[in-house]
Each structure stands twice: as C-alpha cells, then as structure tokens.
Amino acid sequence: MLEYIDETWKQLALLPQDTYDRAKAHFWAKFVDAKCVPTIMSVITQKGEDQQRATKEAQQNLKILEGELERKLFLGGDTINIADIAAGSMWYCVKSGGITQG
C-alpha cells in the first residue's frame, strides 16, 4: 500500500530516490514485517514458556531497530520513509503486549 502511495503521489516521497537508501528502506520495512511483528504477535497470543521465549526474541529484534536509530530521527535518516511507517504501526502492540519496560 505504501509503495503504491509513493508511486502514485510523488510529492509524498515515502521511498528515497537514492538506490542504496531505497534498498535500506526496503530492508528495514521487511525486517519489521518479517521479524518484529510475528514475535510481537506471539507475545500477545502465547502463554507460559512460549510467551517468555517470544518476549525475549521480540526484545532482541527491537534492540536491533534501536541500534539502527542511534543518532538518527528516523530509520530513513533525516526523513520518514516506509520503514518508519512500518515500525510505527507496531508500537501499540509492543506497549499492549508488555514487551517494553517502563
């Protein structure tokens, strides 16, 4: 959906023009979709030891994202892109699943 918006309304620019930066945006969006979201959903839906394992894995994935965000406002650097939107869409589940501390 976001790629459709990017291609249809060029003024929104959800993907960087630079091919390397575009590839990074795709990588991080895929990381969120393939790694983060499934483990977060497992934390919410599992119980007992399975939930504990899923929580640990979800926290590790979120630490990877946090490491990428060091000294940057967005995963895309100075501007928001599809990776940031993908990551932002999961935060409600992160909080409601008790994955973060505080």
Token output for 64: 């990877």
For 77, which DSSP code? B
Question: What is the pTM assigned to this prediction?
Answer: 0.81
d(CA 89, CA 67): 19
49-90 per-position pLDDT tens digit: 999 999 999 999 999 999 998 888 888 777 888 899 888 888
Domain architecture of the chain: domains with CATH: 28-102 (1.20.1050.10)
Query: Could you count the other beta carbons within 10 Å of the beta carbon of residue 44?
Result: 15
Give the confidence band of 15 by pLDDT, cuts at 50, 70, 90. confident
pLDDT at 101 over 90: no
How far does Cα 59 stand from its chain's mean position? Answer: 12
**What was the pLDDT predicted at 102?**
41
* More confident position, 12 or 31: 31
CB-CB contact of 47 with 98 (8 Å): no
